[in-house]
Chains A and B, each alone.
Chain A
Amino acid sequence: MTSLLAILIGCLYAAAIYMMLRRSVVKLVIGLILLSNAANLLIFTAAGLERGVPPLIEEGQQVIAGTAADPLAQALILTAIVIGFGVLAFAVVLIHRACEVVQTDDMNEMKGTD
């Protein structure tokens, strides 16, 4: 399962970078979305996959007996999803405005400030 996810994550990163290198700003944002999802999945996988063992402590015990899924990684991903969503919402509005102002969606036309 881990290796399968690793391949998937690799593909997501590759697809994200490919999309970001395209000239269209819309594809640029799609690339950013893929990139943030890839990073989230990577945290999930890197922290170790445990299926069907919620991190619950038995009554009367102080620590978890045996292995359990890591709740912290999921908390990290949740935070990252929320942040990523907010930032990407901004990016979408930004490219919308930029297309209106510059009258094109071609990155090659947006070189006025370089």
Chain B
Amino acid sequence: MDLTLLVALPVILPLLFGAVSLVMLNNHNVQRWLGAIGTASILIAACALLWQCREQGILVLEVGSWPAPFGIVLVADLLAAIMVLLAAITGFATALYSLKTVRKRFERFGYYPLLHLLLAGVNGAFLTGDIFNLYVWFEVLLVASFALLIQGGERAQMEGAIKYVTLNLLSSALFLTAIGLLYGLVGSLNMADIAQRLTQVEDQGMVTVVAMLFLIAFSIKAAAFPLFFWLPASYHTPQVAVSAIFAGLLTKVGVYALYRVFTLIFNAEVEFTHNILLWMAVLTMLTGVLGAAAQFEVRRILSFHIISQIGYMMLGLALYTPLALIGGVFYIMHHIIVKANLFLVAGLIYRLRGSFELKRLGGLYKDHPGLAVLFLIPALSLAGVPPLSGFFAKFILIKAGVEVHAWWAVGIALLVGLLTLYSMIKIWNEAFWKAVPEPAPAIPAPGRNGLLYWITGSLAAMTIAIGIFAEPIYQLAQQAAAQLLNPQLYINAVLGADSL
């Protein structure tokens, strides 16, 4: 088999399983099996892809054998391969979690096909090397996420969905506008080709304008300050499995797009663009964590923390030094697993207690000490307590900030870490530590939650493993960051070495 075909597998597999799953819409058992097997197969493909990327460098597939820059290319550099693997892990965990938690009614409305479609969109966005194709994958994952978000049709879901849909469509329109202007400037859609031709554009001011349009469009998707309002309004409304995969993946597609575009294409006016990114990153961290401090519902607290964590990832890009990019990539790896896991744990709390409201929770540590441990690992990792994964992620970023004397950013990053710890301790105190509130809420009939414990346990084990084996993960992030900082590697891989 041609090795480059491996690049297409993470996109083709979910589309294939999604299509079959759609045909078998009335057969619940087959759908559930397809959900588990499909996501497992993506996981295997993603592992193989990352392995090959490390062995052979950047892999490029020219779709339909149309040579770049004329045809669409799929490109797997290390960052893309890492993201695909993380998406596959989250997808697999969520699909298994869904087996136990998603109601039959939602399965009949196409839960599993939508899940596959969402994964196809996410993986496509990570792997494509064509800017318009990126827009198309964004729309694919958006449409799937719209439908997943409103499954259930409750009032809160509708209200949240209107904001989610509106702001995401606004962002798509801005993205499309930016693509149109960029195409007008350089006459190409292939990202490597654009990067090369942009240096010859006379009107560099126009290039910066287009860069800002991309920045706005992607930062809406990534839920960065000041355009994050759709996220806390909507992420806590759907089923927990859906919240988990949204929290793990969707905003990170926006972050990935920022990383891709602002390292490969718009890397000429770094003082200007990345300075704006720095301010956005700092404000995103701060507003997210302050928003979380005011919330008393587990999923809302976690939603606001997604925003503040996005700030850290943008910080890595904004500082734009080798170490900072390593920190950013490391942070993404740590964050996706931890965040998805926290939502899954929140789902377990709901299954055991029938509520997400901190006021109505309590006594979980006494009744379910195992769950308490499973909560504590990702929660402390999110706050950055050593030796868990979050500590190393924050440590690298803060060290990078100190190196370039970005004291403001460093100070706020440390403060936000502290406030994150405060939020996590708030959940711990209220849900686990304090006594069961009076009058005792009706506890739902105990179901069998063994599988759910295994899933969250495995993700927690991954968090610990990233912390303990930080060195090899650091090296992986280092290689990914080296590729990002040397865009000529990407350009040569896509267009051939003698392209200039």
Contact = CB atoms under 8 A, between A and B. Distances in A.
A and B bound?
Answer: yes
Residue from the set B150, B154, B155, B180 with the largest chain A CB neighbour count within 10 Å: B180
Interface in A58-114: 72-73, 76, 79-80, 83, 86-87, 90-91, 94-95, 97-98, 101-102, 107, 110-114
Interface stretch (B24-32, B169-177, B252-260, B354-362): B169-177
B176 A39 contact: yes
B149 to A, nearest CB: 10
B439 interface: no
A97 B160 CA distance: 13
A110 B237 CA distance: 14
Contacts of A98: 158-159, 161-162
A96 to B, nearest CB: 10
A46 B159 contact: no
A43 interface: yes
A113 B160 contact: yes
Nearest to B185: A46
A95 B162 CA distance: 7
B146 A97 contact: no
The main secondary structure of chain B at its interface with chain A is helix
B166 A20 contact: yes
B170 A113 contact: no
A83 B180 contact: no
B236 A113 contact: yes
A102 B150 CA distance: 14
Interface residues of B, number: 39
A39 B154 contact: no
Contacts of A39: 173, 176-177, 180
B136 interface: yes
B201 to A, nearest CB: 13
B169 A43 contact: no
B155 A101 contact: yes
B123 to A, nearest CB: 18
Nearest to B237: A113
Given A94-B146, A102-B159, A113-B236, A87 B139 contact: yes
Nearest to B166: A28
Interface of B: 132, 135-136, 139, 142-143, 146-147, 150, 153-156, 158-163, 165-166, 169-170, 172-173, 176-177, 179-181, 183-184, 189, 229, 232-234, 236-237
Q: Which 7 A-B pairs have the closest CB atoms?
A: A46-B184, A43-B180, A98-B158, A39-B176, A110-B159, A35-B173, A113-B160
Given A79-B132, A97-B158, 12 more contacts: A28-B162, A28-B166, A39-B176, A43-B180, A47-B184, A73-B183, A90-B165, A91-B165, A94-B150, A101-B154, A101-B155, A114-B232
